[in-house]
Structure 1
Amino acid sequence: MKKLISAIVVLLLGAAACLYFFPSALLATTQLVERRLAGLSPQEIQVGEFTIRYYEGGPADGETLLMLHGFGGNRDTWLRFSRQLTERYHVIALDLPGFGQSSKPDVSYDVASQVERLHAVIQTLGLGKLHLIGNSMGGHIAALYSARHGDQVLSLALLNNAGVTTPTKSEMYLRVQRGEPNPLIVREPQDFDALMQFVFATPPSIPGPLKRHFAEQSMANRVHYDRVFAQLREHYVPLEPELPKIQVPTLLLWGDQDRVLDVSSIEVMKPLLKQPSVVIMQNCGHVPMLERPAETARHYQDFLDAIRG
């Protein structure tokens, strides 16, 4: 028994040391486990000047779900959400050009440019008609894509999407208007905690070493993110004139505690869409697929089932 207890203590100390000294190794292992649980594998393609990284899984002959993350995010955003869907659907989660592990050349990453890059990615992958789902900036891109390339879209799901002037201004909007630092960009280690508090209604519990690792990763990209955010504002494409062009069923799903993009966006979008469905998740923030992945996936599956009657 003493030997067993000693072995357990050694293992725990080893795990603690690994977490403290090698958080990136622990993160890589965790991501591997999450990918396998979701039935996804990492893939890569070359599209023009961009190397695009993405996850893919599910039956190749299933209907395709293409997932687009938000500003500062990456394909890992969708791992736990996808776990509920890969048994039935062909799932692809992109690192959008300029984000995650996709290449980041010195070009413009405004929404209109990203829409055309997305079109090139879809053509290169030979995906045919698909279901689009996007969060925040990714939702803005997905909506504009559906308006401009609607013949390729079966349905659209917008999770707390950008691109709409809201009746109630969000905290993020007011901060940026006052010239305050962008709360979505980590400039100092302590900013990571503030970011988690800002985008989640109930922030996840993350060990300190992993927090530092995430903060360092974000800080390494802060100059790039500042430039991209400026491009998004300078070349802003409002969705209000585009939404009436969308012919397919569209899910508007929002967390009611979103401080980045106010839930009143739905009041603007719903009358402009031909086939809208609305879900407002209570006590949820800006990234419902991260904060409550299983519940968000159930709402999304209900939406897809309703399309089929």
Structure 2
Amino acid sequence: MIEVTTQMRSHRGQDVRLAYRRSGPPDARPTVLLLHGWPQTSWAWRHVMPLLSRDFDVIAPDLPGFGDSSRPESGFDKKTIARRLHELVDALGITQVAVVGHDLGGHIAYAYAAQWPQSVSHLVFVESSLPSFGQEEAMDVSRGGSWHFGFNMAGDISESLVRGREFLFIDHFVHRESVGVFDADSISPDDIEVYARALARPGALRCSFSYYRTLPLDRQDNVVWGKTPLAMPALAIGARWGYGQASADTLRRVAAHVTERLIDDCGHYVPEERPAEFAEAVREFIFKHATTRRQALSKL
């Protein structure tokens, strides 16, 4: 067995510095790009990376504004975030990636695939939704949606109320009854502290909430992109005690070839709750559709 190690590195692009973890055997292909959700960092992939890097080159960045990456003043619409990630991939000399996005990372994964479809071999959409394609229900508290969408979009008051209470804030979302964890021990207090420390850095709360404040812009972009269904193989992973069927329902509205996987006894944070099952689902999907994707591209 090839021994792999995970290293934290950084890349300075045109307007941001991106910190990222990378692991995998030498010359492994394809490259898998892991995009974490809110309010996390690349630490969310700590269990998954060792499993996937047995077969793939795996890159897990801290999204702009999170963790050790830059905290820019603007540019949190998903089109711009995806562009920054594409610059990272291009700078590393990688021509094609399998993009895996969890939660808000799913928004970015879709924006990446919609803008550079030839550069995306596979799309994995995990416990996520999209503005204009189902997100609105999750935002509507009168229909059972979550209050945090409006709170995060409210402006300076959001930062003022959360500052100094980052651990409490994150712990609430991780352990809430609906769309939290199924296994209460799967994300430990030490893990939450990792995320809380990152969120407490100067500018981090503003950046974190800006991912939500740009949702109206994302909606406009999605309407345009959604007119052309994605052609690459796409996998929707949902959790029985998370978004459930909603992730697959969303993905089928924007992609032509969708496979669905629903994980039982699991809440919203699938990569941390069920990393082995998650990694195996991604691995099987990529290997199964690798030949199909190459054949499709050869005909273009």
TM category, shorter? 0.7 to 0.9
In structure 2, the residue matched to 1:12 is none
> How far apart are the structure 1 equivalents of 2:193 and 2:120?
40
Shift of 1:190: 3.2
**1:247 aligned residue (227, 231, 234):** 231
> How far apart are the structure 1 equivalents of 2:172 and 2:187?
13
Which amino acid is 1:291 matched to? E
Shift of 1:82: 1.3
Which amino acid is 2:240 matched to? D
Kindly tell me: are residues 167 and 122 of structure 1, through their superposed partners in 2, closer, same or farther at Cα, counting changes over 3 Å? Answer: closer
Please say if 1:288 is aligned against 2:255.
no
State how 1:49-64 maps to structure 2 within 5 Å: 49-63=15-29, 64=31
| SS of alignment partner, residue 147 of structure 2 | helix
Please say if 1:87 is aligned against 2:54.
yes
Shift of 1:152: 0.8
> How far apart are the structure 2 equivalents of 1:192 and 1:279?
27
Shift of 1:218: 3.1
Shift of 1:180: 5.3
Gap regions ≥5 residues in structure 1: 1-36
> How far apart are the structure 2 equivalents of 1:190 and 1:130?
36
Please say if 1:303 is aligned against 2:269.
no
Kindly tell me: are residues 285 and 50 of structure 1, through their superposed partners in 2, closer, same or farther at Cα, counting changes over 3 Å? Answer: same
| Paired residues, number | 270
| SS of alignment partner, residue 245 of structure 1 | coil
> How far apart are the structure 2 equivalents of 1:196 and 1:177?
13
- Aligned residues of 1:158 and 1:253 also touching (Cα < 8 A): yes
> How far apart are the structure 2 equivalents of 1:57 and 1:293?
16
- Aligned residues of 2:152 and 2:209 also touching (Cα < 8 A): no
TM-score for the superposition, normalised by structure 1: 0.76
Shift of 1:45: 1.1
- Deviation sequence 1:155-188 (CA, Å, 0-9, x none): 1111112315439934786343895578x99552
**2:181 aligned residue (189, 196, 200):** 200
| SS of alignment partner, residue 65 of structure 1 | strand
In structure 2, the residue matched to 1:43 is 9
| SS of alignment partner, residue 306 of structure 1 | helix
- Aligned residues of 1:170 and 1:262 also touching (Cα < 8 A): no
- Aligned residues of 1:134 and 1:159 also touching (Cα < 8 A): yes
In structure 2, the residue matched to 1:274 is 256
**How much is the aligned-residue C-alpha RMSD, in angstroms?**
3.0
The percentage of aligned residue pairs carrying the same residue is 22
In structure 2, the residue matched to 1:218 is 199
- Report the structure number with the largest CA radius of gyration: 1
Kindly tell me: are residues 156 and 179 of structure 1, through their superposed partners in 2, closer, same or farther at Cα, counting changes over 3 Å? Answer: closer
> How far apart are the structure 1 equivalents of 2:119 and 2:149?
40
**2:115 aligned residue (128, 148, 169):** 148
> How far apart are the structure 2 equivalents of 1:210 and 1:69?
14
| SS of alignment partner, residue 200 of structure 1 | coil
- Aligned residues of 2:140 and 2:146 also touching (Cα < 8 A): yes
Gap regions ≥5 residues in structure 2: 292-300
> How far apart are the structure 1 equivalents of 2:78 and 2:150?
22
State how 1:120-131 maps to structure 2 within 5 Å: 120-131=87-98
Kindly tell me: are residues 190 and 172 of structure 1, through their superposed partners in 2, closer, same or farther at Cα, counting changes over 3 Å? Answer: farther
Which amino acid is 1:46 matched to? R
Shift of 1:194: 1.4
TM-score for the superposition, normalised by structure 2: 0.78
- Deviation sequence 1:119-143 (CA, Å, 0-9, x none): 2112111111121111111111111
> How far apart are the structure 2 equivalents of 1:178 and 1:265?
17
Which amino acid is 2:147 matched to? V
> How far apart are the structure 2 equivalents of 1:122 and 1:190?
35
Kindly tell me: are residues 237 and 141 of structure 1, through their superposed partners in 2, closer, same or farther at Cα, counting changes over 3 Å? Answer: farther
- Deviation sequence 1:233-253 (CA, Å, 0-9, x none): 454356465354311111100
> How far apart are the structure 1 equivalents of 2:93 and 2:15?
19
Which amino acid is 1:247 matched to? A
State how 1:109-128 maps to structure 2 within 5 Å: 109-128=76-95
Shift of 1:282: 1.6
